[in-house]
Amino acid sequence: MAVFSWIVNLILQSAFIWIPILFGIIFWFSYRAYQREKFIKEKLEFALLEINIPKDVFKSPQAMEMAIDVLYYLGGGAMTWQERFWFGAVLYPSSLEIVSIEGSVYFFIRTSTKLAPAVKSAIYSQYPNAEVNEVDDYTKYVPDYNKYHADWSLNGLDYKLSKDVFFPIKTYVDYGLDAAVGKLEEYEKIDPLSTVIEFLGTIGPGEQAWIQYVIQPDAWSTWRTKAEAYIEKLISRTQGGSDDEEDKSFGRQLTSGEKDQIKAIERSLSKHAFECVIRTIYLARNENINKATKGYLKSSLFLPFNSLYLNSIRKNNETSYDWVWEDITGMRYPILKKRFFNDYVARAGFNEPFWKYFNFIWYKRRPQVILTSEELATLFHIPGRVSESSAVERIEAKKSEAPINLPV
């Protein structure tokens, strides 16, 4: 008891020190959250762009990578410390989306209205026969989810990386698509996105599947230091240059897997990187629910991009619970579904309200996901003729010519 009394007295006697500090911290974070929300409401407006796929595409996903790089160069907003921490300026988030509505597949980019013209120009410069049009948000044609909409069922997921973020996923370069243009026939190419498109084409009547990648430029790049340290560690083992006496691997040759790791990580270091939130939504009328589709989104959607020696994308949160005791009353389940739906519609993930940092009651904390422009272009690009799926409607020719002064 004496120790307890001493601790209580110490806390009370030092209150004049820690209470002002505590309230100062609370005020600072609250002020920043207020300024950030004010900036977002007053300065940020968004446009949803639909990409109509041309009939013949003979370019590798590198063309889309160059278009995605525009979102990095122009994703400014928080240009100085003063603008970011005092005036609430934020980086401009964008969203890359592949959507299946009853088996018809669509490609969308949602970005700031300030960036939309540059994004259009970037796509036209790489795909002159494509069409890019501003369209209504497809999510507004689905009833706002709540448990009283008994005719609709919803299943949502978000995803994380299985290893440290500096390990890249398997990209189009690993599939040889960067060197295949002009060298291989279409039937000889392997495009990992084709598997995803074929799956989305199987979505039946009364069903919808939405895939979303919310991105913003990686402002801190702390992963690069870790990546360089990892490469140095692997190389030092072959040279005996480490001080770790317990490591008996010095002087050995790098394995083929380690060589591939170094090559892939070094390639990532040369690319622009984005913070990313990956989520999917499966919607279906109760009479059309397909459990196989739900299972595919949960465990198989990203298999073509996963690698045992590099990185993998796997499930993080889901709109269900593994154990009965996690939702004994059944109240959390519909709330979780509604929050997933609202987050998808809002393209949430960055610059969220301050109270959301305490949402661990509903979500497991979402780990950081970093993807380079090469990885994003692998996950989201205009498919060539290697993907012959009828689910993707292709246009014969675009209705109007792109401006002649666009960069190529």
Q: Band the pLDDT of 135: cuts 50, 70, 90.
A: very high
Query: pLDDT value at position 237?
Result: 77
- Helix and strand totals (H; E) in the chain: 11, 10
For residue 248, give both structure tokens: 């008996």
| Beta strand ranges found along 257-324 (DSSP E) | 273-285, 313-318
Q: Does 121 reside within a domain?
A: yes
Residue 257's contacts (CB-CB under 8 Å, 6 or more residues apart) are 309
Highest mean pLDDT among 44-58, 108-122, 311-325: 108-122
Beta bridge partner(s), residue 46:
112
More confident residue, 129 or 303: 303
**Model pLDDT for residues 217-235, shown as the tens digit of each residue:** 998 788 999 999 999 999 8
For residue 357, give both structure tokens: 């940092």
What's the predicted TM-score (pTM) here?
Answer: 0.85
Q: Does 16 reside within a domain?
A: no
The sign of the CA dihedral 162, 163, 166, 169 is negative
Q: Does 22 reside within a domain?
A: no
Q: What is the mean pLDDT of residues 185-205?
A: 85
Q: Does 401 reside within a domain?
A: no
**Model pLDDT for residues 260-308, shown as the tens digit of each residue:** 999 999 999 999 999 999 999 999 998 999 999 999 999 999 999 999 9
Q: What is the mean pLDDT of residues 21-40?
A: 83
Q: Band the pLDDT of 408: cuts 50, 70, 90.
A: very low
Q: Residue 284 belongs to what domain range?
A: 44-395
Q: What is the mean pLDDT of residues 67-71?
A: 94
Q: Band the pLDDT of 358: cuts 50, 70, 90.
A: low
The DSSP-derived string for 46-109 is EEEEEEEEES-----THHHHHHHHHHHHT--S--SHHHHHTS------EEEEEEEETTEEEEEE
Query: pLDDT value at position 81?
Result: 72
Q: Does 103 reside within a domain?
A: yes
Q: What is the mean pLDDT of residues 228-243?
A: 78
Instruction: Report how far residue 290's alpha carbon sits from residue 310's, in angstroms, rounded to the nearest whole number.
Output: 32
Q: Does 10 reside within a domain?
A: no
**Model pLDDT for residues 360-406, shown as the tens digit of each residue:** 555 556 788 999 999 999 999 998 766 666 667 766 655 555 555 54
Amino acid identity at 177: L
Average pLDDT, the chain: 84
Query: pLDDT value at position 407?
Result: 45
pLDDT score of 241 more than 60: no
pLDDT score of 243 more than 60: no
Residue 17's contacts (CB-CB under 8 Å, 6 or more residues apart) are none
Instruction: Report how far residue 352's alpha carbon sits from residue 162's, in angstroms, rounded to the nearest whole number.
Output: 24
Number of domains in the chain: 1
Q: Does 130 reside within a domain?
A: yes
Q: Does 358 reside within a domain?
A: yes
